[in-house]
Amino acid sequence: MVVAVVASAAYLKGKGYGREIDSADLVVRVNMNSQIVHFHPDDIGTKTDVVYVAKGLWRHLIDKKDYPDFKVPEGAVMKLRDNKIGLERKKRGYYPNTGMIAVEEFAKKGHIVKVYGMDFYSSAFGGKIPRRSTSSRPIVITTDKKLIYLEGYTDSIGEKTPKRRVSHIGGDHDVRNLIHLMKSYPVYLDPHMETIIANYKRR
């Protein structure tokens, strides 16, 4: 089975991956990506089978304070991140982001995984992937009242929106984990991600 795991990096704007994403047997959208499909159908598609959500974000959704309009698309299922994988990584000094946990989980189940929309927070650091998973330096993310929300990235694939700050960053370790996964499992990346990985290997 072909599984598309779709995150929300700003570079997706204008890439036209929508039809390719929707052709996958299973489309997994990470965190708030499922809430912006109707704004960008040509670039990220509209099909949603699984909404894979971080547990911390889910608590906010339950509170209905930050995201009162959040809805799981009809026919899709909500899945909280597999924290067993996350805790295994944390013991090694690194807490992976939700998208990478989704990629790892579905790859280890024997599926072909195609990944879209991860830039490993490089857009917040001048194109360089941050080495630490946490930082005292907050990064700016964008959000608006209609939930055009992109996790951890400085730009939106929607319109410019009010800003708030977060401090969780996970880049360098996630890239290394992804490279390791690609050696053992059929994990494929969108062209922009391939470039990010190639540049990382050369540095």
DSSP code per residue over the chain: -EEEEE---GGGTT---HHHHHTSSEEEEEGGGGGSTTT-HHHH-S--SEEEE-HHHHHHHHHTSS-TT--PPTT-EEEE--HHHHHHHHTTT----HHHHHHHHHHHTT-EEEEES--TTGGGGTTPPPS-SEEEEEEEEE--TT----TT-SS-SSS---EEEEEE---HHHHHHHHHHHHHS-EEE-HHHHHHHHHHHH-
pLDDT at 89: 62
pLDDT of 21 reads 98
- If you average pLDDT over residues 11-30, what whole number do you get? 94
Residues 157 and 147 sit within 8 Å (Cβ to Cβ): no
Mean pLDDT of all residues in 19-26: 98
pLDDT at res. 145: 39
Nearest in space to 112 (alpha carbons), one of 31, 174, 24: 24
With bands split at pLDDT 50, 70 and 90, how would you rate the model's confidence at 129?
A: confident
67-114 tens-digit pLDDT: 667 788 899 998 887 767 656 665 666 667 889 989 999 999 999 999
Range in 3-7, 10-14, 58-62 the model is least confident about: 58-62
Task: Look at residue 93 in the predicted model and tell me its pLDDT.
Answer: 62
Specify the residue for token string 């540095």: 203
pTM: 0.82
Q: What is the pLDDT of residue 164?
A: 44
Above 50 in pLDDT, residue 41? yes
CB atoms near residue 201 (< 10 Å): 9
Percent share of the chain, pLDDT over 90? 36
